[in-house]
Amino acid sequence: MNHISPQDQITTSEASEVSDNTTVKKRWIIQVVVTALLLFSGWHLWIYLQLLEIRSTNPQRTAFMQQASDNNSSITIKQQWVNFSGISRHLKSAVIASEDAAFVSHNGFDWDGIQLALEKNIKKGRIAAGGSTISQQLAKNLFLSGERSLFRKTEEAVITLMMEATLSKKRILELYLNYAEWGKGVYGAEAAARHYYGVSASKITSWQAARLASILPNPRYYDGKRTDWMYEKTDIILERMPKVRIPH
């Protein structure tokens, strides 16, 4: 008959306890992973359903507009929807020339632009250029924030893929032109045209369009400012405008 010594009993008990603790930890990790996947899937399912709705309806407010309002309760959000046909062709050309020259031909990502932006950032030793397309910017404006993080960029990429699969290029540009930030509390082409030039979006001239497009990278800073860089950028955009394609 085999006898288990008290020391062996203690060792067996400790091993059993360690095994139980390991099992509990594994279950906890699995539960966390499953919960995270469910939340991730649920969030993107909600966004996809929103995009399906956005194909034919116009959002009342974007994430960017809501955040601006939350961060500054005294700010007045100025935004007025105008259909694609009611926006000056000059402004459509200027925005594409300035922000995303390959807009009509790419699938949401301009890999040449991303590579160029990466090279600029490495050369300057900081994030000086983003390389984001119009589709990526719209994804961020509609659903995300201006935070610069790997997680936000990943989310932006996922939403961009869904957007390109759900919306036409014309609809993407129409939404972008109506919700892009153009100044302090100024969103969309109509509000921008009236804020800066006192005219409707349909009456914007080629030079005015190029000027509006030039401030898109930092609209709050350039609201009310005039710099040599703005004049130079405006001239560059004017030169590029005849070369771009507008979706229709």
Digitized pLDDT (tens) for each residue of the chain, 248 residues in all: 555 555 555 565 555 555 666 777 777 787 777 777 777 678 788 898 999 999 999 999 999 999 988 888 888 999 999 999 999 999 999 999 999 999 999 999 888 777 776 666 666 665 555 678 999 999 999 998 777 778 788 899 999 999 999 999 999 999 999 999 999 999 999 999 999 999 999 999 999 999 999 999 999 999 988 889 999 999 999 999 999 999 98
Q: Estimate to the nearest angstrom the gap between the alpha carbon of 161 and the chain centroid.
A: 12
Determine the Cα angle at 122 with ends 119 and 126, to 5°. 125
Query: Within a 13 Å sphere around the CA of 58, how many CA atoms are in the beta-carbon half?
Result: 16
Q: Which two tokens stand for residue 223?
A: 């609201």
pTM for the structure as a whole:
0.83
Query: Within a 13 Å sphere around the CA of 28, how many CA atoms are in the beta-carbon half?
Result: 6
3-class DSSP state of 104: coil
